[in-house]
Amino acid sequence: MDLKIYFHGILTGQSSWNVEKEDEQLIATYYTTREEDVTFQIRVIRRGNKVFCYYDYLVNNKVVICYDGRANGYFGITLRMDVYCKRPLDIFRILDTVFHLYILGKGHIYEPIGERYKPNVATFEVAKDKLNMAKGAIERMLADGPGDDEFASAANLKVFSDTPERYNIADCNDAKINKALAQTGYVQVSPQYPSVAYAKLKKECAEQVKAEARKCEALQVQKRGVEMRLSEVEASNRSKDSEISELSKKLKEAGENKRMAKLIEQIRTPLSELAEVCKRVSPQGSSSRSSDEYKRKKSPRFAAFILPLINFCLLVVLVLFVLFSGKGESSEASVADAEAVAATTMEIQQASAADADQTKDASLTDAPAVAYSIDVEGYSGSGKLDNSKYYYPNAKADGEVIADNSRVEWVYENAIKIERDEDRPGFQPTGSPVTIILKVDGKEVNRRQIPADAD
């Protein structure tokens, strides 16, 4: 194998070392600008009757400056062989390794300055010892690398044309380079050339970005829908808050009404007593009595009538006060005033009741006897009571139902008292006969026995 190793570049001007005379003019053409940082190229060139393959490792003007700091320098290593290597990428790796181990570095021929490489010598002749070391390293690596069967004669290769086949190093392999070399005689490889693999990956990434953008747009639509729904829920919550506020206001009013109802409840019992008294002193209720007897008992009956009437008048005043005193004032203040009036009224009632008791005691010996009787709702007066049913008794005085149930007490024998009606407890038969005992003001005034199914 006829092997030549050349070193060349721009230092203060074009400089080379170990270049054959017939190749000096060719080496001078390497002084040009390139877009890529590093280029690995293979060219088939005829020299007389022989055909050679030139393997060039070029570090270009984008990263190499001149000895005096000017731009547009370059550095190159060229192998000239009368054979071609079937594993051309191995040649690239060998030359790239030699450049970084023997040429570039602090104290070497080129030194890194920032992102650029600056030569430390003005001519390569000054650095011939270092270049000899680099040359020897290339020869050893070629000897240890591709075997003899990896080299073939370059005689049958096509001489290079002006247009090379270019590949990104990520897209090519040895077979692709050798095929292009046989067809065109000129191949260039660089990490900076457009990559088919990179373009494919870029296209895939762009499609993926579009797909993600579509997903993002769909999510934005969903987000807007959720925001609209959230606005509706917030509006609904505000409406519910308004309803709750209104209900709270009504509950407060209901509480005040309940307090008012308690005050009215205090009126109910005195009114019932008044109605009962009026009935007793009515001329119709005593038509069977003689005029002498009526005149004789007129004074105590008048006293018994007039005191409840006074109570009634006071209670009417209380009601009118509650109903009309709230104008222009808050309802709470009106209720408080009504309670104060009710308390005063109760004191007057108690005093009136004491006077009524004295009048009652004075006329007790002259009062006519009252006839008490017992009626049972649901019982016709004949037959037996059904022990599976509930019955409710009514207490009557002189044939009239006693309205004031607080005076009435019921006691049963052979029956269970039923407390479902707190004003008028009923009973359920458990034996026969059922005895119903009526007590008024704590005294037994009547009792009645009725047979039941238990007989």
pLDDT, mean of residues 243-251? 87
Could you identify the residue written with the tokens 């191995």? 90
* DSSP type of residue 150: G
Q: What tokens were used for 364? A: 């007790």
Q: Flag whether pLDDT at 298 surpasses 50.
A: no
Would you state the pLDDT for residue 317? 61
Q: What is the pLDDT of residues 49-68, one digit of tens each?
A: 899 999 999 999 999 999 99
The type of residue at 303 is A
Q: What is the pLDDT of residues 180-212, one digit of tens each?
A: 999 999 999 999 998 887 777 888 888 899 999
The type of residue at 141 is M
Q: Flag whether pLDDT at 172 surpasses 80.
A: yes
The type of residue at 418 is I
Dihedral angle of Cα 14, 18, 23, 27, to the nearest 10 degrees:
-30
Q: Flag whether pLDDT at 323 surpasses 80.
A: no
* DSSP type of residue 158: P
Q: How many angstroms separate the Cα of 324 from the Cα of each of 176, 315, 317, 328?
A: 111, 14, 11, 10
Determine phi and psi for 55, rounding to 5 degrees.
-105, 110
- Give me the chain's average pLDDT, please: 82
Q: How many Å apart are CA 65 and CA 397, to the nearest integer?
A: 134
Would you state the pLDDT for residue 242? 87
What's the pLDDT band for 156 if we cut at 50, 70, 90?
Answer: confident
Would you state the pLDDT for residue 329? 47
Q: What tokens were used for 25? A: 């003019």
Between 5 and 391, the more confident residue is: 5
What's the pLDDT band for 280 if we cut at 50, 70, 90?
Answer: low
pLDDT, mean of residues 254-267? 75
What's the pLDDT band for 262 if we cut at 50, 70, 90?
Answer: confident
Q: What is the pLDDT of residues 372-383, one digit of tens each?
A: 999 898 898 888
Q: Flag whether pLDDT at 343 surpasses 70.
A: no
Q: How many Å apart are CA 43 and CA 56, to the nearest integer?
A: 8
Q: How many Å apart are CA 8 and CA 171, to the nearest integer?
A: 29
Identify the CA nearest to 285 among candidates 125, 398, 402, 419: 398
Q: What is the pLDDT of residues 229-240, one digit of tens each?
A: 899 899 989 888
Dihedral angle of Cα 28, 29, 30, 35, to the nearest 10 degrees:
150
Q: How many angstroms separate the Cα of 448 from the Cα of each of 300, 387, 417, 451, 454?
A: 34, 17, 16, 10, 17
Omega within 30 of 0 (cis) for the link into 433? yes
Long-range contacts of 427-430 (CB under 8 A, 24+ apart): 427/390, 427/391, 427/393, 428/387, 428/388, 428/389, 428/390, 428/391, 429/385, 429/386, 429/387, 429/391, 429/453, 429/454, 430/387, 430/454
What's the pLDDT band for 3 if we cut at 50, 70, 90?
Answer: very high
Q: Flag whether pLDDT at 11 surpasses 70.
A: yes
Domain boundaries, the chain: 3-194, 265-366, 372-450
Would you state the pLDDT for residue 20? 94
Identify the CA nearest to 172 among candidates 152, 142, 194: 194
Q: What is the pLDDT of residues 71-104, one digit of tens each?
A: 999 999 999 999 999 999 999 999 999 999 999 9
* DSSP type of residue 48: T
Q: What is the pLDDT of residues 97-125, one digit of tens each?
A: 999 999 999 999 999 999 999 999 999 99
- The tally of CA atoms less than 13 A away on the side-chain side of residue 422 is 0
Would you state the pLDDT for residue 86? 94
Q: What tokens were used for 97? A: 């390794």
What's the pLDDT band for 296 if we cut at 50, 70, 90?
Answer: very low
pTM confidence score? 0.48
- The tally of CA atoms less than 13 A away on the side-chain side of residue 118 is 11
Q: What is the pLDDT of residues 347-369, one digit of tens each?
A: 656 655 555 555 555 444 444 68
Q: Flag whether pLDDT at 292 surpasses 60.
A: no
Spatial CB neighbours of 372, under 8 Å, sequence gap ≥ 6 = 395, 396, 397, 438, 440, 445, 446
Q: Flag whether pLDDT at 287 surpasses 90.
A: no
Is residue 130 left, alpha or beta, with left meaning phi > 0 and alpha meaning psi from -120 to 50?
Answer: alpha
Q: How many Å apart are CA 71 and CA 113, to the nearest integer?
A: 13
The type of residue at 435 is T
- CB-based contact 386:454 (threshold 8 Å): no
